[in-house]
């Protein structure tokens, strides 16, 4: 009798272990709702052109991003479309850099329109469309909702403020904010790349390039503006400077 009881207890324990091992585990973190995938298909050309395997990977990267970065509206309602646009702008530049994470970024603030450098929405200097925080706001990025939507809906403009801001974070990751992402570009190429940025700035100043004049501000802005075109209109960058185009492909690990 005791032996039968022992066998039953052992059997019960085995069944219990099997149930625990095979029980489907609840996924932790943000799970992308299906209608987000529809928005990606409709508005994000980069995503639309990926194969099925890469689309799956893009979604995993988005889920990870939404799990670690909070998106908050400041006097603006953040809709799912805005979330998809912000997530896409974060993932597109680093999609082929497989283990990339925006480690310092904690929150994206969404303002309705432009704002000035003091992050105020009123006043006379409402000319800033996007910004990565410094000092006390180190972990914060600010985007204008109007500009965010405008960039993705008019994707042929070659401009994209949200991608521009995420490229700034890529640039900053090596500890220096200088227009050259040293952790992604082999050291031997750094001087040539920096010289090419200076050359491009000069061409724009002299009216020999149609690229946005804002790129002449400094090498940091030149790199970010150049990357906007690279991700939105790569053919234009290739035509503008085949050498810079090849460097950008190396930096962002873009496949053939």
Residues at the contact surface with Zn ion, assessed by CB under 5 A: 221, 224
Displacement of CA 214 from its chain's centroid (Å): 21
Q: Please count the other Cβ atoms lying within 10 Å of the Cβ belonging to residue 141.
A: 26
Strands (E), 112-204: 130-132, 140-144
Q: What is the maximum span of the chain, computed from C-alpha positions, in angstroms?
A: 98
Nearer residue to Zn ion within complex by CB, 40 or 141: 141
Half-sphere exposure of 43 (CA within 13 A, CB side): 23
Nearer residue to Zn ion within complex by CB, 39 or 211: 211
- Report the side by side order of strands in the sheet with 140-144: 70-73, 107-111, 140-144, 130-132
Contact assessment for residue 130 and residue 144, using Cβ atoms and an 8 Å cutoff: yes
- As measured in angstroms, the least distance from the Cβ of 223 to Zn ion is 9
- DSSP 3-state of 122: coil
Nearer residue to Zn ion within complex by CB, 59 or 141: 141
Nearer residue to Zn ion within complex by CB, 32 or 194: 194
- As measured in angstroms, the least distance from the Cβ of 111 to Zn ion is 16
- As measured in angstroms, the least distance from the Cβ of 97 to Zn ion is 20
Nearer residue to Zn ion within complex by CB, 71 or 128: 128
- As measured in angstroms, the least distance from the Cβ of 172 to Zn ion is 11
Nearer residue to Zn ion within complex by CB, 59 or 224: 224
Contact assessment for residue 97 and residue 253, using Cβ atoms and an 8 Å cutoff: yes
The terminus-to-terminus CA distance of the chain in angstroms comes to 72
What the block records as the tokens of 208 is: 């020999």
- As measured in angstroms, the least distance from the Cβ of 164 to Zn ion is 5
Round to whole Å and give the CA distance between 169 and 146: 21
For Zn ion, the nearest residue by Cβ is 224
Round to whole Å and give the CA distance between 143 and 61: 21
- As measured in angstroms, the least distance from the Cβ of 168 to Zn ion is 6
Closest to 169 measured CA to CA, from 122, 103, 215, 219: 103
Nearer residue to Zn ion within complex by CB, 180 or 224: 224
- As measured in angstroms, the least distance from the Cβ of 212 to Zn ion is 11
């Amino acid at each position: 009798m005791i032996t039968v009881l022992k066998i039953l207890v052992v059997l019960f324990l085995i069944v219990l272990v099997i149930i625990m091992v095979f029980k489907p585990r609840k996924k932790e973190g943000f799970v992308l709702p299906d209608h987000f995938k529809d928005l990606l298909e409709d508005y994000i050309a980069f995503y639309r052109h990926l194969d099925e395997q890469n689309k799956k990977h893009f979604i995993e990267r988005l889920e990870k991003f939404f799990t670690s970065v909070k998106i908050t509206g400041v006097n603006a309602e953040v809709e799912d479309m805005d979330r998809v646009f912000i997530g896409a702008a974060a993932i597109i530049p680093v999609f082929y850099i497989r283990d990339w994470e925006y480690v310092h970024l904690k929150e994206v603030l969404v303002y309705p329109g432009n704002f000035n450098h003091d992050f105020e929405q009123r006043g006379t200097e409402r000319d800033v469309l996007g910004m990565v925080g410094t000092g006390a706001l180190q972990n914060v990025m600010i985007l204008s909702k109007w500009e965010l939507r405008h960039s993705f809906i008019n994707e042929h403009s070659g401009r994209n403020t949200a991608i521009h801001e995420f490229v700034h974070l890529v640039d900053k990751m090596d500890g220096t904010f200088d227009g050259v992402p040293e952790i992604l570009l082999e050291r031997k190429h750094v001087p040539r790349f920096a010289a090419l940025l200076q050359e491009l700035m000069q061409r724009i100043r002299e009216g020999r390039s149609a690229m946005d004049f804002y790129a002449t501000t400094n090498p940091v802005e030149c790199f970010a503006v150049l990357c906007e075109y690279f991700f939105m209109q790569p053919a234009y960058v290739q035509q503008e400077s085949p050498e810079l185009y090849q460097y950008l492909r190396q930096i962002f690990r873009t496949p053939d």
